[in-house]
Structure 1
Amino acid sequence: MEGGDALALQKQKKTGVWWDLNTCPVPAGVEAGRVVACIESALEKEMGHGCQVYIYAMGNLEYISSDLLEQIGSSGIDVLHAPRRGNDLYHCLREWSEFNPHDVANVMLISCDYTLADPCLFRLVEFTGFIAYPEDHRPLTLDRNDGQTVFVKEFVWETLLNDNMSRGEIVSKYDEPSYTCYICFDSYEACGEFVTHLKSDEHKRELRYMVPKDSEFGKPKHFCQACDYPAYDYHNFLIHTQSEEHNLKNLAEDCESRKRSPQVHLLNERNKMQSVARGK
């Protein structure tokens, strides 16, 4: 192949990157606007040439700050509320494969979620794959290769960012940002409208309709009674119960309970103290 043709082919190369914000958040001290350039630099070093990189930040985004989501969206990254994890990633990969032939495209996953880091998902689309995961959290599913290597290169997420920080200039996107809810399949250009949607009754109704139900009673399998919140699975239930919104709700209910039944509250506190004393 002539040099000019090889260069033209390199310019056609594309890499789709799916970044799980729940298991691989932006580390402390790293500006979200630098992530794009860091990923591009790491891929360029690995492949030996540059390529077009398309990054999709995904996960349960209901409890990620709007400021961070806006920084990510304005840096050239498409933002996807995709709490169904492996199911949503499969949809993304199939869509990517429809528009990008194997000979000019690669894929990369940034996650330690075992439902995402599933070699079977990536075998279905047959792309050259890369993966990054947090330090000390290598997904066990990567060992299920059945003699077939799916990810040709593994990165440690924090190391990838640190090693490429010199190339990690702040990136601003000139196109309109894109924020999409994979529960309702609504898209927004303004982060504020997207966040408002995620907190809306309409969104919660759609989520309630979609979540797995108990076969006997038809109720959501993973449900927070205090917040009236239906979670798609246990992973999302934990994300909810660790959120500030949930903790504030519990605190408010606890305060109200103390007002209604102060004697019961004092009795509970006394029982807790006695239990602690017996445990010493």
Structure 2
Amino acid sequence: MSSLTSENAEAKVGVFWDVEECPVPDGMEPSLVCENIKLALEKKGYRPCNVSIRVYGEKTNKFKDDFLLADIMFLPAGDARARYMRMGDDFFCWGFDNRKSTLMVMSRDSTEFASSLTMYKNLNFNILVAQPENAHKRCPDCRRPLEMIITDEWIWESLSAGGDPITKTQEPDLSNSCH
């Protein structure tokens, strides 16, 4: 995974967060989690003022109003499939409007977005992903396409606290099972 250069400091960062699959950690408020995401990105050379966060969740999400009160875009998108479709459509439109930028996808299964993310990587976007520590395990062959395009990857629980991306030595063992 490559590190960022100073030219990326001016890049816009679109964060697409599935809050049902990467929930607000216990004891934290949505506004603090968003500040921590920006802090983690700032450590990688991005400017917090260039980060926009879109949160996708069910209409009944208990934090919906907290996101809105903190000026964070909350998009009620329904069940897992509906959220996947809405996020994919939104980052397609966002990427079209924001060339030479960075996409960050936070979801339990980022492999679902592999073909779209590959397209953006080919357009020189940085690709950042975050998944919860308990994400479904995938076989190495299923995950390989993502490893080729990801600039940085976080465990959700670390990112939500402002932590650093994982390194090759920290990556979870994905050899247990194939789905």
Per the normalisation by structure 2, the TM-score is 0.72
Shift of 1:138: 5.4
Map of 1:1-280 to 2, 5 A cutoff? 12-46=10-44, 48-51=45-48, 52-59=50-57, 61-65=58-62, 68-83=63-78, 84-101=82-99, 103=100, 105-113=101-109, 117-126=112-121, 127-137=125-135, 140=138, 143-146=142-145, 149-163=148-162
Aligned pairs, number: 151
Shift of 1:81: 1.6
Distance 1:27 1:117 in 2: 24
Shift of 1:33: 1.5
Distance 1:153 1:147 in 2: 11
Identical positions, percent: 26
Q: Name the SS of the counterpart of 2:21 in structure 1.
A: coil
Change (3 A) 1:22 1:148: closer
Change (3 A) 1:42 1:139: farther
Offset from partner CA, 1:112-169 (integer Å, 9 cap, x none): 045x7431121233321111111131563884334862222111111222345xxxxx
Shift of 1:85: 2.9
CA contact (8 A) 1:36 1:75 kept: no
Offset from partner CA, 1:63-93 (integer Å, 9 cap, x none): 212xx21111222321112231332222112
- Higher relative helix content: 1
The structure with higher relative contact order (CA 8 Å, sep 6+) is 2
Distance 1:45 1:29 in 2: 24
Amino acid at match of 1:152: T
Amino acid at match of 1:50: R
Change (3 A) 1:40 1:117: farther
Gapped regions of structure 2 (runs ≥ 5): 164-179
CA contact (8 A) 2:37 2:162 kept: no
Shift of 1:40: 0.6
Gapped regions of structure 1 (runs ≥ 5): 1-5, 165-280
